Amino acid sequence: MELLSVKINDFLHYVGVNDRDTHLFENLWPLENGVAYNSYLLTAEKTALLDTVKITKVSDFSAKLKAALKGKTLDYLVVHHMEPDHSGSIVMIREMYPDVQLVGNKRTIQYLDEFYGITDNILEVKDGDTLDLGGRSLRFYTTPMVHWPESMVSYEEKSKILFSQDAFGGFGALDGTIFDDEINLDFYHSETRRYYSNIVGKFSKQVQSALKKLSGLEISMVCPVHGPIWRSHPEKIIELYDRWSRYEVEEGVVIVYGSMYGNTQRMAEVIARQLAEEGIKNIKVFDVSKTHESYILSEIWRYKGVILGSCTYNNYMFPLMTKLVNVLEMNNLINHVIGVFGSYSWSGGAVKALREFAERGKYDVIDEVIEAKCSACDEDIEGLKRVAKQMAYKLKEDRLSSLQEMLD
């Protein structure tokens, strides 16, 4: 059966593939809904393939490419990003089209050698250079550390289409639909935020630099290498990446706990209930043993309030709470209010470690700290309520400040 490419317009075809087999993206992040590896074929007087796909999907990919070329040869292969889920099929493409010329920047060329031993038939491009395809041209913009050193994007000047590599991407296989006007945006919004927070978020400062560099371009369509193509409302995905990379947050609280026998969990429930009584509507409670940190990080990226609770395990945090804290620390989150609580049986350590983490980061830390021995007593419960009240107060302060700004 011939696997057909999707015609985007009269000179551009989508030749990407879905991956519903891989369980963990980068062998770390769950892919319950799969992921797409997007690739594009541009045909003018010359032909250019824009990125490839993970090697495990090369069979379907090569069939789509061959069908889209309709007997033409492949002149160029543009390598925007060298991560193997996009560069993995380069060697195979060179075997299929021996005369194809690879296009990349200086760091790309270095990685081509180091990953695949490729050193010949490569065209080096610099920031601002163009590739003339005869009737169409691509202008290149380097976007270092979004999210690898060699990362770059290209812009087809006539149609005003941006080929954005991992930037503006998202998790989720494309289930028959590939354009933003065909999909359920509510579902993709969540999976796109999870992708951003897990994969790109650490490099938010670099994202802001890239957005500034591209701000003068008129963009009619965004073609990323993951997630849907934004042909109707490209401004939506650009706005989301801008907001997330500026650490804009909503009013709400994410409570995460690590509990062995339920005592720390019950403490979390007390805090959650008190937050509700204080008028906080967006409250998310997670058991760190049941919910992968990928999803927790995504929600923390969304909401301003974070409250972490852990039982003591071998004089330290519960191991899976330690794992989450390491992920949070790696991402250098800012613009959050954080509180901590926990429990111990004979020797503490978890709450001390959580407090030290909170004070190391760029957080607004709640003063009240509750550490219960064995299970929370009445005094502890009153203290947990105070934690919730202090958190609600800080969030309401922001609410009033935002309202005042609107009135002004």
How many Å is the Cα radius of gyration of the chain? 24
- Residue 79 is encoded by which pair of tokens? 């390598």
- Residue 246 is encoded by which pair of tokens? 């500026």
Give percent above pLDDT 90 in the chain. Answer: 94
Q: Residue 41: which pLDDT band, with cuts at 50, 70 and 90?
A: very high
Residue 295 to residue 193: CA distance in whole angstroms: 10
What was the pLDDT predicted at 1? Answer: 43
Residue 27 to residue 295: CA distance in whole angstroms: 15
Classify burial at 30, counting beta carbons within 10 Å of its beta carbon; exposed 0-12, middle 13-18, buried 19 or more.
Answer: middle
pLDDT at residue 308 tops 80: yes
What was the pLDDT predicted at 3? Answer: 59
Those residues with Cβ within 8 angstroms of residue 388's Cβ, 6 or more apart along the chain or in another chain: 270, 271, 272, 273, 274, 275, 278
Classify burial at 296, counting beta carbons within 10 Å of its beta carbon; exposed 0-12, middle 13-18, buried 19 or more.
Answer: buried
What was the pLDDT predicted at 407? Answer: 60
Classify burial at 45, counting beta carbons within 10 Å of its beta carbon; exposed 0-12, middle 13-18, buried 19 or more.
Answer: exposed
Look up the pTM and report it. 0.94
Q: What is the mean pLDDT of residues 196-223?
A: 97
Phi and psi torsions of 26, nearest 5°: 55, 20
pLDDT at residue 158 tops 70: yes
What was the pLDDT predicted at 405? Answer: 62
Three-class DSSP category at 184:
coil
What was the pLDDT predicted at 307? Answer: 98
What was the pLDDT predicted at 126? Answer: 98
pLDDT at residue 31 tops 80: yes
- Residue 29 is encoded by which pair of tokens? 């992040």
pLDDT digits (tens, 9 = 90+) for 361-404: 989 999 999 999 999 999 999 999 999 999 999 999 877 766 65
Largest CA distance in the chain: 78
